Amino acid sequence: MSVKLVYVTAPSHEEAQRIAKTVVTERLAACANILDGVTSIFHWKNKLCREQEAVLILKTSAGKTDALTARIKELHSYECPCIAVLPVEGGNPAFLQWVNEETAQD
């Protein structure tokens, strides 16, 4: 029962919500959390950037991470979106089972 968290940044709450609704509806993720008001500071194309973004945290099964990553890239407006898959080492077994069941459905 391997579950992953997928961390994604988006330029706005609206885009994060659109991505979240799509990937949850398509059963690529069981759940999405959107955190607004994140300030990101980074270099992009030799320029120091400071942007307001929304963070999207998705819960999915290990077997869906490749498909989820590909789908986020299709839906995202950034040229190179931040998509990072993080392992879940433990937690509530009932919740972890639910994530796997939700993403097993088509």
| Residue 56 lies in domain | 3-104
Task: Give me the CATH number covering residue 84.
Answer: 3.30.70.120
Q: What is the pLDDT of residues 37-52, one digit of tens each?
A: 999 999 999 999 999 9
Q: What pLDDT does residue 106 have?
A: 65
Q: What is the pLDDT of residues 55-93, one digit of tens each?
A: 999 999 999 999 999 999 999 999 999 999 999 999 999
3-state secondary structure (DSSP) of residue 63: helix
Alpha helices in the chain (DSSP H): 13-25, 65-75, 93-104
CA dist 106 and 41 (Å) reads 38
Q: What pLDDT does residue 1 have?
A: 63
Q: What pLDDT does residue 105 have?
A: 75
Q: How many domains does one find in the chain?
A: 1
Hey, what amino acid is at 59? K
